[in-house]
Structure 1
Amino acid sequence: MAETSTRQPPTDEPPTDEPPTDESSTSRNPRRWRVLGLLAVAQFMLILDITVVTVAIPDLGADLGMGRAALTWVMSAYTLAFGGLMLLAGRAADVVGPRPLVLAGLALFTVASLAVGLAPSGEVVIGARVAQGVGAAMLSPAALSVVVRLFDGEERNKALGIWSSLGGVGAAAGVLVGGLLTGGPGWEWVFFVNVPVGVALLVALRLLMPPMPPWAAGARLDVVGAVLVTSATLLVIYGFIGAGEHGWGSAFTLGFLAAGVAVYGAVAFHLKRSAAPLVDPRLLTRRPVLAGTFVLFVATGLMVAVFFLGTFYLQQARGHGPLVTGLLFLPVALATMAGAQVGGRLIGRIGARTLGVAALLVAAAGLLVPALSLSTLTTVAAVSIGSAGLGALFVVAAATALGQVAPEDAGIASGVLNTSHEFGSSAGAAVISGVVAASLVAGTDVGFARGYLVAAVVAAVSAVVAAMLVPGKPR
């Protein structure tokens, strides 16, 4: 799976005494599977909230008077905050221990979900979505750090397989759940439903999750690096969203994209010069980590783009209500689950590279069909096929990037991986919104077909990159 050594990049601080050993550090912990189940539900809820809003967006926009750009920010604000703070939170999990961050992040996410549902205006919705993203950023890498530290050996591989499947399944199920809730009690319940689930998880995790000593107690947190990463991504996403009104070759779009690239350059400079960088630059250049983050970025970006595109196409161009739209995405959700399950079984036999390339080609083929022949039936059937490939990609990404991560590096490594997940979500929604901007307003087919074509081309090109980047099966 990986061609590098299992040695990890050095931490920011010189090694100190070994952290005290407790029952949480080995697979002998008798509560490990119950804790995994609870954390998996929490992570599922975080991923669900990326796409659960897609079906609700037309109704939400009509109620609060929000336009296309503002509605795109309803999705991107959450994923931008989620991804932009992920590395800082992953490092914090190593510095203070993962348990406090899991509980604090879950509490913030739950309160922010209530605030979105009660929001009287679009501005409040977007602000509360940012708060949701901050809570999710605290919770997600810390939770994965707990999982990595609770399991070892083959049990860790099994636990990571379960965890990695949540990304695709949660994203796919979000559209179905969003349709059922929006078509039933209303779009507010897309967010209200998080409140009782979050409270129940808080109580259970406080009782069952064992204390875990920090691996890097006393190390500094790179707040400047986190601000730079978030700012760079904000500039790029703003440029993508604005391209719908200003044009892809306009000074507005190119200016924001260029500014984002420049700030990313500042991020690279800062990481090399900082005594305690947000992430060790050498970790980012390790082939397994780089390959896993690339695959996850593409998979998430394509999935969110397709769901964002599909919900507007089915509701505005085809006239289906939110409930019918959600039900039409049921095959997509099932196909994504099946793809993740099959991918988990095949990856050990054929290797991550072969599985990743094949999955991307399946996704490209499925997304090309609605670009050539657009209708409700062809779109649902073809996107289901493509989503089976995307589901397998989530397994490829996690297994490639985390398969040989040492427990003491689990927090920051999972932060790197999950950052690509959220940035992929932001980019997917922003790019596809810019590509089909006119059709989102007018409900015409031309822009939607163009959007599916762009997604298919991205998948095909990514298959070529994956063939060169993802490590082959070890001999």
Structure 2
Amino acid sequence: MTTESTEARLAPAEAPVPQTAPAVAAADPRRWWVLVVISFAQFIIAIDASVVNVMGPQLQHAIHLSTPGLQWVMNIYVLLFGGLLLLGGRLSDVAGRKQMFLGGLVLFTLASLAAGLAHSEGQLLTARAVQGIAAAALSPASLSILVTTFTDPEERSKAFGVWGSVIGVGASVGTIIGGAIGNSDWRWAFWINVPVGVLVAAGAIALVGRSVRNTVREATDTLGALTATGGLVLLVYGIVTSSTHGWTAGQTLGSFAGAVVLLSVFLVVESRSAAPLLPLRLFRSRTVVAGALGEFLTAAFMMPLFFLIPLYLQDVSGYSPLRTGLAWLPTSVGLMVLAPVASQLVNKVGPRAMYLLGTAFLAGVIGVAIGIPLHASYVSFMLPLSALFGAGLVFCLIATPVVGTADATEEDAGTTSALLNASTQIGAAFGIAVSVTLLNNRMTHELTHGASAQTALVHGLRVAFIGLVVMLVLSIVNGLVGFRGLKRPGSAERKLS
């Protein structure tokens, strides 16, 4: 069904109230409670993307998890989360945002319960897979609810400030929770989602239905759904397995080739479909493209640091899992303290300046990280790195959804949100894969030349961090070119083509 036919069908019912509906929504104080509910849902999703980073030894000891199995505890979550996001976003437009939000939340909560009850590698990986599927439904529904609930541009930017900071806080808090629970019972790293999920579901039932009007449409693009999902799954699979099989391995190249074929077929299908899963007109919007690139690059920079730094802290500096998690506390505090400031600032200076400022802070992070020493105190290394990291993330993570959803409509809010979320997950997988490949190659070289394990690791980390400079350069280009013209949310001067 085309946009025009949808508008024509809805016009008679909406004609009496086109001017008053936005005002009512803007005046409803429950919209801020909706934000609280959505933020908690996004928080548990972000936590589960990083909570296992410092729990490896505990998982291997408790359920005899193999080394490949340990990698797949993270990979299978990212694989299905990233691969199914586009489908989940479109379904939120078709079946309704509240329905997808609650369905995804219930499934995520049950999968978390099952992960905590796991007694074998297969059981844990199955539960993590279901968590990824549930997150692919829950995350785009969450962001699209914000897009349609906050109709005032300035209020929407404030909401995005909270939502964006929750992603970074969740990722950093996940390492703290993983470290703290790793010293006791690893199962609570997953069980903690259960009471939170119940409370969030109760809040969504009470609030979201009153604040968000769902748009129900027919889902006819079956071939598009199959080719998009298959293509994205193969793409993410190729990325996440490249660190173990290599970028030129037959399995990796085969995955990429399959992804190219399926995604090419998908684009052809979408260009001819009357009700496309992903309307190609979205790619004509520079706001959508720039926002998606911003999400990809920020995640490709963020997740490698959360993955690699714990290796240094535990294997070189001798930190315990708990101390490793607490080392990220300045990042979490910085995100929480600066988020309200950044939400106000984006309305004054615009998302372009915000994004470039965040990128500048992240450049400072790389400056510290590249100089990673063999032995360092927390004050001289980790404190400045984690503090700069929090500042950089908060400005980037707030600016990108403001830009990416600037032109989002009621009809395509879920799809646009899913595209941004998919960019985040693919960027995270890509960043980790590239960084781990650089790390492993350098470590192998160092070890074959007689270096100690600790020295090899430090030298490998330096090379991996140098690789992240590419992400920074691309972020600067994206900020200068892609974000150009968007003065501030709601500005009459905004002219993007």
Instruction: Report the TM-score when normalising by structure 1.
Output: 0.88
* Corresponding residue of 1:293: 292
Any stretches of 5+ residues in structure 1 without a counterpart? 1-8
Deviation, 1:299, is 1.0
> Are 1:245 and 1:437, in contact at CA under 8 Å, matched by a contact in 2?
no
> Are 2:298 and 2:396, in contact at CA under 8 Å, matched by a contact in 1?
yes
> Are 1:241 and 1:434, in contact at CA under 8 Å, matched by a contact in 2?
no
Q: Structure 1 pair 55/459, CA: closer, same or farther in 2 (3 Å)? A: same
Question: For residues 195 and 126 of structure 1, what CA distance do their matches in structure 2 show?
Answer: 18
Deviation, 1:380, is 4.6
Q: Structure 1 pair 361/41, CA: closer, same or farther in 2 (3 Å)? A: same
Counterpart residue type for residue 459 of structure 1: L
Question: For residues 112 and 360 of structure 2, what CA distance do their matches in structure 1 show?
Answer: 37
Deviation, 1:174, is 1.7
* Corresponding residue of 1:16: 9
Greater RCO (Cα-Cα under 8 Å, separation 6 or more)? 1
Paired residues for 1:45-444 under 5 Å: 45-153=44-152, 154-183=154-183, 185-210=184-209, 212-215=212-215, 217-374=216-373, 375-376=375-376, 377=378, 378-437=381-440, 444=457
Q: Structure 1 pair 370/162, CA: closer, same or farther in 2 (3 Å)? A: closer
Deviation, 1:326, is 0.7
Deviation, 1:406, is 2.8
* Corresponding residue of 1:457: 470
Could you give the per-residue CA deviations for residues 225-277 of structure 1, whole angstroms, max 9, x where no partner exists? 34333333333333334433444444444443344333332332232233322
Question: For residues 328 and 12 of structure 1, what CA distance do their matches in structure 2 show?
Answer: 55
Question: For residues 320 and 274 of structure 1, what CA distance do their matches in structure 2 show?
Answer: 55
Deviation, 1:92, is 1.9
> Are 1:157 and 1:403, in contact at CA under 8 Å, matched by a contact in 2?
no
Q: Identity rate of aligned residues, in percent? A: 34
Q: Structure 1 pair 47/15, CA: closer, same or farther in 2 (3 Å)? A: farther
Deviation, 1:383, is 4.2
Any stretches of 5+ residues in structure 2 without a counterpart? 448-452, 488-492
Deviation, 1:68, is 4.6
> Are 2:87 and 2:229, in contact at CA under 8 Å, matched by a contact in 1?
no
Deviation, 1:151, is 2.7
Counterpart residue type for residue 466 of structure 2: L
Question: For residues 149 and 434 of structure 2, what CA distance do their matches in structure 1 show?
Answer: 39
Worse overlay, 44-53 or 204-213: 204-213
Q: Structure 1 pair 386/189, CA: closer, same or farther in 2 (3 Å)? A: same
Matched, 1:466 2:449: no
Could you give the per-residue CA deviations for residues 199-218 of structure 1, whole angstroms, max 9, x where no partner exists? 12222322333255432x34
Could you give the per-residue CA deviations for residues 159-202 of structure 1, whole angstroms, max 9, x where no partner exists? 2332232222222222222222222x322111010011111222
Instruction: Report the TM-score when normalising by structure 2.
Output: 0.85
Worse overlay, 128-137 or 249-258: 249-258
Point out the structure with max Rg over C-alpha: 2
Counterpart residue type for residue 472 of structure 1: G
Q: Structure 1 pair 207/338, CA: closer, same or farther in 2 (3 Å)? A: closer
Question: For residues 128 and 63 of structure 1, what CA distance do their matches in structure 2 show?
Answer: 16
Could you give the per-residue CA deviations for residues 267-323 of structure 1, whole angstroms, max 9, x where no partner exists? 322322333221101112310011011101111222111101112222233321110
Equivalent residues, number? 465
Question: For residues 242 and 425 of structure 2, what CA distance do their matches in structure 1 show?
Answer: 21
